[in-house]
Amino acid sequence: MALDLDHSFLKSKQREIRKEFPEELGLRVHRALSWLGRAEAVTDDDDARFVFLWIAFNAAYAQEDAFNEYATSERAIFTEFFAKLVALDDEQRIYDAIWLKFSGPIRGLMSNKFIFNAFWHHQNGKPGFEDWERRFVSSSRAFAEALTTQDSALVLGKLFERLYVLRNQLVHGGATWNSTANREQVRDGAAILSFLMPVFIERPLVNGRQIYAVWNETTEGENFAERWNEEPARVEAFYKWHSKALADFESLRDLVGLDAIVGSMKDSLGDKLVARTMNRRMDALNEGRKTGALVLGAGVGLTTQKLAASTPVPRNEFFGD
């Protein structure tokens, strides 16, 4: 458990200051605490403890209207939630969990293909995921970069992507109870959630409101998000845009075929911009084919860039053969 943070301590604190909370925040904290208490009562069942803790996590981050509709992008919601929590982490409890207490288990979870979403899409025959290994390497590389830069919010985002797959396996019957196949993942996941969930709940309790900070790395003390703290409408507008953007890009990532990709981009970015961009691309490809510079790159597609592993595309003189 995170220092002295447990259900009893947090519940007492909530009773003392809950009148100061906005109604929606107070309700989320109340629900999250109820499931945290249930998880603490489980001492001999990692599967149940993991599921109860995940429900507590859901209660803590979800907006009220999310309970009645399909969330288009859990990743987008996670990203927003973790960015806020890390900004509030004055005592660096989240930082310590990532870099000190659970460094080994987190790295183990991130290197496990069996809780990587694209791997299971490929195993289940879903089109477009034949390159799951490339995606796995790319995800691992992004995680390694986040570790190098000590980006706690990004590390949490990547970690919870994997824990989300584990959650789905348990909740949707994709694993047996107490299975030896996933024991290490469930045990480590439950331990990480047990430590982090009290912190996730305690931060809003301490602050009573969200504080936003996007620091300028070149000018000490300059906060790009300073006006967000004065004008909450700016926060809501930004995160609404951000959620929509992430959902659109995730949808784009899973599409197969240029027509589908272009159609999705037009819906998100508008006909004019996409048409102009695609026309430029087609002009560049046509010019590359005329000059012999056009190649088919593995995992890339048609390009005029020089690649080590590529197949030249022959010129098309339109004379027939």
E runs forming strands in 144-211: none
Name residues whose C-beta falls within 8 Å of residue 9's C-beta, 6 or more positions apart in sequence: none
In a shared domain, residues 177 and 95? yes
In a shared domain, residues 13 and 161? yes
In a shared domain, residues 102 and 206? yes
**Residue of higher predicted confidence among 45 and 258:** 45
Tell me 66's DSSP state.
Answer: G
In a shared domain, residues 127 and 185? yes
The C-alpha torsion from 155 through 159 and 164 to 167, rounded to 10°, is -140
Q: What is the number of structural domains in the chain?
A: 2
How much is the pLDDT for 66? 45
- Residues 43-100 have pLDDT tens digits of 899 999 999 999 999 888 765 444 444 344 566 677 777 887 887 787 788 888 888 8
Residue 216, domain member (yes or no): no
In this structure, the strands spanning 295-297 and 301-303 are antiparallel
Residue 101, domain member (yes or no): yes
The H-or-E segment that residue 317 falls in is: none
Structural domain containing residue 265: 258-304
- Residues 184-216 have pLDDT tens digits of 999 999 999 999 998 888 776 555 555 566 666
**Which of 185, 211, 237 is the endpoint of a domain?**
211
Residue 106, domain member (yes or no): yes
- Residues 218-239 have pLDDT tens digits of 776 677 877 876 777 887 788 7
Percent of residues, the chain, with pLDDT higher than 70: 84
- pTM for the complete prediction? 0.63
Dihedral sign, CA of 140, 146, 150, 153? negative
> Cα 27 from chain centroid?
24
